[in-house]
Amino acid sequence: MYTLYYMQGACSLATQVVLHELNKTVTIIDKNNVDDFNAINPVGTVPVLVDGNNNLTEGAAIILHLLKKHENDLFPKDSGQQQKAIEDIMFANATMHPAYSKLFFIAKNISDEAAKVEAFQAAEKNINSLWQVVESKLASRAQLGSDSISAADIMLGVYATWGQYFPVELIFGQRSSKMLTTVQSMPSFKKSVQAEQAESNK
């Protein structure tokens, strides 16, 4: 049994999807319903996964912990392929995620409209360039995981939903769009979205 602290639609969604793919039971708690969440994670961010007596933080680290702990098809068994899978996870977490995070920062912190428009345009250009990289990565495979959906695909499937909240035009290539549709159609993905909605509506 795991406990996952989340925010609706945030990157913690990917952790929940991975847990469902691993057939693990998880209780989810909206961080906004916690009186002092900083007591759980001083940084104040999600996800936080409670595994026994340990509070695990940082999404990529949590996912790698789960993939190494449990038998699964999301992470290759071959050591050479594992390195590539880790690179894909870090690309999603450390490159694509921060690019999208700039959209949230701009919306919250820039009040001058002209400056805000310019900042959104710059962020849009950066994100689109990264999706071109993904498109190139998918030139010889249907998803980043060589034989099946990987954790990195799931992470990108979550991040790709964030652009809808901002005045940007994000462009996904044909291969990327197909991969994202596959990920977002997974029963585990839909179950995770529904679980967050149900919990947040309590």
Could you tell me which of 98, 200, 88, 78 has the C-alpha nearest to residue 143? 88
79-186 has which fold? Glutathione S-transferase Yfyf (Class Pi); Chain A, domain 2 (1.20.1050)
**What was the pLDDT predicted at 147?**
79
Sequence ranges of the chain with CATH classification 1.20.1050.10: 79-186
Higher per-residue pLDDT: 97 or 78 = 97
Exposure b/e, 172-186, CB count within 10 A at least 16 = b: bbebbeebbeebbeb
pTM of the predicted model, to two decimals? Answer: 0.96
Q: Is the pLDDT of residue 32 over 90?
A: yes
CATH 3.40.30.10, the chain: domain bounds: 2-73+188-200
Q: What one-letter code names the amino acid at 129? A: S
What mean pLDDT do residues 2-11 have? 97
CATH architecture of 2-73+188-200: 3-Layer(aba) Sandwich (3.40)
Q: Is 160 strand, coil or helix? A: coil
Mean pLDDT, the chain, rounded, equals: 96
